Structure 1
Amino acid sequence: MDLRLHKHYHDEEYDPRLFAETYFSETSVITEDRQNLVRTLYKIFSSGEVTGKTLLDVSNGSSIYQLLPACESFQEIIVAESNERVKRDLEKWLNKEPDAFDYSHTSKLLCELEGKSVMGHEKEEQLRRAIKHILICDFTKENPLHPVILPKVDCLITICYLEVVSKDLDAYRSNLKKVSSLIKIGGHLVLFVAISTLGLNMSYYMIGEHKFYVLKYDEEFVRKALTDTGFVIKSVDLHTRKQTTHLTDYEHIGFIWAQKEREV
């Protein structure tokens, strides 16, 4: 694939609001896929095994859907973001600014899964209280959070981030090691994957008229990369793509839940 034909996560054409409207709105063409992801995350975080003091989120875009199922399992949540426009967009939601993106459909779904009488807006308030910091990260540095030195966290969740900042498979492995360095031994990694059983994996996603780069890899590669980086895979939960759309080309979407066993 000629990378020059694709935009990249840090390019000025990356519009975080349009990204959210395309993939996370109530009327998005991938609504069913997103709902399956929320259900998978709920299953992971309601298991009682993934808990602790601190969760770190390193994800593509300013979405909060991945954090809503986790906010009751951790005392604090820290978000790390490398795109300044995305950081600002997330701050709009955090500060309840009038033009912040509306995630009420996602918080309502989670409340239904939990079977609680709490309303969606109360779940969002709970998440706002849990988010303590939004940091800038840079995975070209050995410590991606430099100059901040963060104590190793109990859990790190990443949604389609390593795929968009890694130029090749070697860079992905290197960035995965940097992710591991932020997690304590015994801590957990919840890793988004978009793959194909045929090896023709996700290679792009659209924002408006612009096609953005995603590193292609398959399930075998990511399983080995995790094992080589000191993780033990606890579960792999994949969902077959439901909607036909030109917006992206994954065949299966889901999460790998892994536990850090050793330093490498």
Structure 2
Amino acid sequence: MSMIKDYTMDSGSRKLYHVHGFDSRQHLEHYVSDKPDMVFGEDCLLFPIENFTKTFSAGHIKGDVLIDLSVGSIIHHLYAACDFFKHIIVLKVTDRCILELKRWLDTRTGAFEWGHATKLHVDLEGKSIQLQDKEDKVREAAQHVAKCYLEKENIMDPIVLPPADCIISVALLKAICKDQDDYRRYLRKFSELLKPGGHLMLIGFLDMTYFTVGKDKFHALTYDEDFVRKVLVGEGFVIDSCKVQKRTNVSDLTDYKAMIFIAAHKEK
């Protein structure tokens, strides 16, 4: 087993995403906006869009219910999914992230502008579709947005969610896990929401120790590809594909070394 940095006293000054929360709009501006000084476009925008589009377009991952458990108020990773699932249930751990996401879903004034990400997806898909039509389709599928409580046995207590055909999680586990045991525990919770044979898709940041939002520095669990693979197999998943991409940018907002995308399915 690879050595994984624990959340010890040396990182005690760092905030925990699901405990302290962060400025969800600032998070979007830092990591997924179209601002000229936003350097994470290839990693945080293109990498998820490319991998989800390629995986879903293969046609074997589809169904009625997809659950999204991702960090912040991001939505671009779900562009490809809306063509293959009737209902997308988006779960968030903070009210602020819910409000920010709903502002876009409800087309309210002041919503974050996702047009640049929509264009990336449409161009990659190569289909003749208007950007507005694609965004409307995402909005139609992702109308189920709710708060979840990670520490509860049923994270939606008292609501019982229907078993999902697929779960997507982008960058959430690195933000909520203090140590290796947390990672396994939360992954097990995700697994419990899946049907037997259901699919799990993860995007994470390798060898990361922190990320910054505004003036606040947040804890991130440090892990490598080997660790993620072993945990998934240990929790009863079969890994179908894995892609690792080395970091392409220079910024002191965060210190990850690479991006990882893993698609797996739960053994029946």
Structure 1 length normalisation: TM-score? Answer: 0.94
Paired residue type of 2:218: F
Q: Are the equivalent residues in 2 in contact too, given 1:108–1:119 (CA < 8 A)?
A: no
Separation (CA, whole Å) in 2 of partners of 1:51 and 1:231: 18
State the partner residue of 2:40.
30
User: After the TM superposition, which of the residue ranges 1-10 and 67-76 deviates more from structure 2?
Assistant: 1-10
Counterpart of 1:4, as a letter, is G
User: In structure 1, how many angstroms separate the alpha carbons of the residues matched to 2:93 and 2:248?
Assistant: 31
Is 1:10 equivalent to 2:18 in the alignment?
yes
SS at match of 2:143: strand
Q: Does the CA-based 8 Å contact 1:155-1:189 persist in structure 2?
A: yes
Q: Say whether the 8 Å CA contact 1:71–1:126 is kept in structure 2.
A: yes
Equivalent positions of 1:85-234 (< 5 A) are 85-195=96-206, 201-234=207-240
Aligned AA (2:231): A
Q: How far does residue 208 in structure 1 lie from its aligned partner after superposition? A: 1.5
CA distance in 1 between partners of 2:93 and 2:18 (Å):
8
CA deviation vs aligned residue, 1:103-139 (integer Å, no higher than 9, x gap): 0111111111111121112101001111131111111
CA distance in 1, matches of 2:173, 2:153: 15
How many pairs were matched up?
257
Aligned to 1:64: 75
Aligned to 1:54: 65
CA distance in 1, matches of 2:19, 2:236: 33
Greater shift in the superposed pair: 1-10 or 246-255: 1-10
CA shift, 1:178, in A, is 0.4
Change (3 A) 1:230 1:11: closer
How far apart in 2 are the matches of 1:260 and 1:240? 28
Instruction: Tell me how far apart the structure 2 counterparts of residues 218 and 78 of structure 1 sit (CA, whole Å).
Output: 29
Q: Identity over aligned residues, as a percent?
A: 40
Q: What SS class does the counterpart of residue 139 from structure 1 fall into?
A: coil
What is the CA–CA distance in structure 2 between the aligned matches of 1:11 and 1:167, rounded to whole Å?
12
- Give the superposition deviation at 1:9: 0.9
In structure 2, C-alpha distance between the alignment counterparts of 1:253 and 1:4, rounded to whole Å: 25
**Shift >6 Å, 4+ stretches:** none
What 5-or-longer segments of structure 2 have no aligned partner?
A: 1-7
Going from structure 1 to structure 2, the CA distance change for 1:118 and 1:94 (only over 3 Å counts) comes to same
Alignment-mate amino acid for residue 27 of structure 2: F
